[in-house]
Structures are given as C-alpha cells and as structure tokens.
C-alpha cells in the first residue's frame, strides 16, 4: 500500500471516525456481558465473562492501531465489519477512500466466493 500523506483536516476526520468505531465496539462488548449476566445465574458465569473480556480486549487492542502507516487498513476492516460506514469517512481524500472501497469490495467478493462453494 502506498504511503499516504494526511492533512490536518483529514487527521481530524480520521480521529473522529476511529473513536466512533471504538466506542461502538466497546458498547457491543458491554451489551454482550449484560446479556451473559442475564442468560445465566450460575456463579461460574463471571469467569466466562472474564474469558470473553480477555479475548475481546486483546482483539480490540490489536485492531485499533492509530498509526497513519496502517490506518487505511484499519478503516477498511472497520467498514467491512460494520463498525463504520463509508459515509463516516467523508472528508478523507478521494484516493484514500478509493483504496478503502476497493479493499472492502475485494473482501466481500472473497466472502461471497467462500459462501458459494
């Protein structure tokens, strides 16, 4: 992937989109542990919640990497996974948006192919 330059305005859009996706994903973690508590009154459920949180924290720490050198890849993944819409990245330069769009489309094709086998 080519080495993009980020303007001050783009950095602002990027930061807001990044934080928005992160807060959505953490809210989904919260909903899941609330659901786990609701589903089971077994005292041992707290360790299953602990295991779940350990896994999610590791995954989220790894995924939310705010270095400009990897940010396009991060955004592509967040759009693919549904944590961000392409519209929420409006304000990034058209080249960056094009790379993200192509990465998302490419991944959807791959997913479809696997699904059609």
**Cα separation of 8 and 18, whole Å?**
15
User: Judged by CB under 8 A, does residue 49 bind a second copy?
Assistant: yes
Among 1, 16, 46, 70, binds a second copy (CB under 8 A): 46
Closest to a second copy by CB, 57 vs 108, is 57
User: Judged by CB under 8 A, does residue 29 bind a second copy?
Assistant: yes
Question: What distances in angstroms separate CA 41 from CA 14, 21, 62, 73, 92, one per listed residue?
Answer: 42, 31, 32, 41, 47
Among 34, 59, 90, 95, binds a second copy (CB under 8 A): 34
Question: Which structure tokens are listed for 78?
Answer: 């967040």
**Given the rule CB under 8 A, which of 9-17, 46-54, 83-91, 101-109 is the region that contacts a second copy?**
46-54
Question: Which structure tokens are listed for 22?
Answer: 């992160």
User: Judged by CB under 8 A, does residue 53 bind a second copy?
Assistant: yes
Q: Closest approach of Cβ 50 to a second copy, in Å?
A: 4
What are φ and ψ of residue 77, in 5° steps? Answer: -65, -40
**Given the rule CB under 8 A, which of 5-13, 53-61, 72-80, 84-92 is the region that contacts a second copy?**
53-61
**Cα separation of 35 and 13, whole Å?**
33
User: Judged by CB under 8 A, does residue 47 bind a second copy?
Assistant: yes
**Cα separation of 16 and 50, whole Å?**
29
């Amino acid at each position: 992937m080519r080495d993009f330059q980020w303007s001050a305005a783009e950095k602002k859009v990027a930061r807001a989109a990044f934080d928005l996706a992160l807060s959505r994903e953490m809210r989904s973690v919260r909903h899941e542990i609330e659901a786990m508590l609701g589903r089971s009154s077994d005292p041992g459920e707290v360790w299953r919640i602990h295991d779940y949180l350990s896994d999610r924290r590791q995954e989220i720490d790894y995924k939310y990497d705010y270095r400009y050198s990897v940010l396009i890849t991060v955004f592509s993944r967040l759009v693919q996974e549904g944590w961000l819409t392409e519209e929420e990245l409006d304000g990034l330069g058209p080249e960056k948006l094009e790379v993200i769009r192509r990465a998302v489309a490419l991944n959807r094709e791959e997913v479809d192919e696997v699904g059609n086998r």
